[in-house]
Structure 1
Amino acid sequence: MNHLLSFSLTVFMGFFAIMNPITNIPIFLSLTDEADSATRKRIAKSATFTALIIVLSFIIIGKYIFMAFGLTIPGFKIAGGILVFYVGFEMLQSKKSTIHHSDKIAIDEGMAISPLAIPILAGPGTIVTAMNYVTQSNVWHMVITSVIFGVMILLTYLAFVYSDYILRLVGHKIIVVMSKIMGLILGIIGANMVTEGIRIAFHLGGAS
């Protein structure tokens, strides 16, 4: 039970750091600047639902993807860890991650799919984080990862729907500070993924 609780907290922090429900609010507001309240709600619902389907698909069939392409768990953890570390490093440098953001934006409800769902919410960093928790896990770990990601999607939806209020309440500076903290957490998660991949690859002690 303690192991599952610890695992749940780890998964929650990983998803919270990579998805940034609060720090993505300014992005959502900038994309939907000219939209009314009802349109914003539809865009938020479509974006979060699409991201949920994409990431859950990778959680459920991720192992089969590995088998189909001949991928190895150590290779995935090392490459994925570098990717996650890079996202965190960009956040610490006060940059919008090039992995999560797109410069070209269509001013219509299609923005719910791109760039909001892909790659802002369900980008490579999010997919890598999700798959990292289930590549060597049992059914319970897969269920916990799926449920926690669903919770994160719900929190993101609520953050988008009440984005105006949250931005006024919290303030832009606090959001920037939160982004820095999440960047540091992501860097640590990425480094841990790399070291775990190396331990598995070389059969070193302490690999989980």
Structure 2
Amino acid sequence: MHDFTTLTTLAVTVFMGFFAMMNPIANTAVFVGMTASKSPQKTRAIAFKALFCAFCIVAAFSLLGKGIFSLFGITLPALRLAGGILVFLVGYHMLQGNQSKIHTSQQATKVAIQNEEDEGDIAISPLALPILAGPGTLATAMNYSASGDITHIFITIGAFAILCGITFVCFLTGPKLVEKIGEGGISIITRLMGLILTVIGMQMLIQGVHDAIQLYVPVGS
């Protein structure tokens, strides 16, 4: 049985981890730049398809995480160590006021803005991958669901679904939101999210080292 307080704490932790990684406010600015020449109907279609694809990708990794580990012989400590490093690097770049190249594809974004692609192409790449469901987001999802506990898996998927809903609203109100917050506000939010991510990454690293010691170091040695 899971304690309600423990589950609530886990849900908040997972949500904040996803929120910091996806950074809906900063991604809204990217989305507005990519869809500036689109009609409201196409903009809505792009936002929905991008977020739906991102949700499906994260849900798949959350559900299949344990199977992927078994297939490739990956241990949970290895995921937490690698994921911790990855999340820490993303957070470090954001803390400097930059979007990490690990998490987003600036070149892909430039190509999408320069070329008038249809909404399906833009929604899937670069929006869904790698901007919304990048390596950092997938590592975060697998870290919280990799134990195989069905409760943890559902909490992870549910938290990401809520975040997708929030991001969808941000995308639809993008121009007004970006105008009100301004570049300075977006920069401050990005740095705050970066700080949260560096702490989450370090916690994943600490947990990974702890788990690795318990797994590989004989008791009493």
Match of 2:100 in 1: 97
Matches within 5 A, 1:55-66: 55-66=58-69
- TM-score (norm: length of structure 1): 0.95
CA distance in 2, matches of 1:34, 1:126: 29
- TM-score (norm: length of structure 2): 0.89
Match of 1:140 in 2: 151
Deviations 1:106-151 (CA, angstroms, capped at 9, x unpaired): 3312111000000000010000001110112521111111111100
The Cα shift of 1:187 comes to 0.3
The aligned amino acid for 1:149 is F
- Structure 1 stretches lacking a partner, 5+ long: none
Which stretch has the larger CA shift, 128-137 or 99-108?
Answer: 99-108
- Structure with larger Rg: 2
The aligned amino acid for 2:102 is I
What CA RMSD, in Å, does the superposition of the two structures yield over aligned residues?
1.2
What SS does structure 2 have at the residue aligned with 1:94?
coil
CA distance in 1, matches of 2:132, 2:44: 16
Pick one of 170, 178, 200 that aligns with 1:167.
Answer: 178
The Cα shift of 1:171 comes to 2.1
The aligned amino acid for 2:92 is F
Higher helix share: 2
What SS does structure 2 have at the residue aligned with 1:71?
coil
Matches within 5 A, 1:24-103: 24-102=27-105, 103=107
Match of 2:20 in 1: 17
The Cα shift of 1:33 comes to 2.0
CA distance in 2, matches of 1:195, 1:142: 22
Deviations 1:36-61 (CA, angstroms, capped at 9, x unpaired): 21111111011000000000000011
Residue 188 of structure 2 corresponds to residue 185 of structure 1: no
The aligned amino acid for 1:73 is L
CA distance in 1, matches of 2:76, 2:101: 25
Deviations 1:65-97 (CA, angstroms, capped at 9, x unpaired): 000011111111001100000000010112121
CA distance in 2, matches of 1:16, 1:151: 10
Give the percent of matched residue pairs that are identical in Structure 1 and Structure 2. Answer: 43
Pairs aligned (count): 204
Write out the 4+ residue segments of structure 1 that deviate beyond 3 Å after TM superposition: none
The Cα shift of 1:170 comes to 2.1
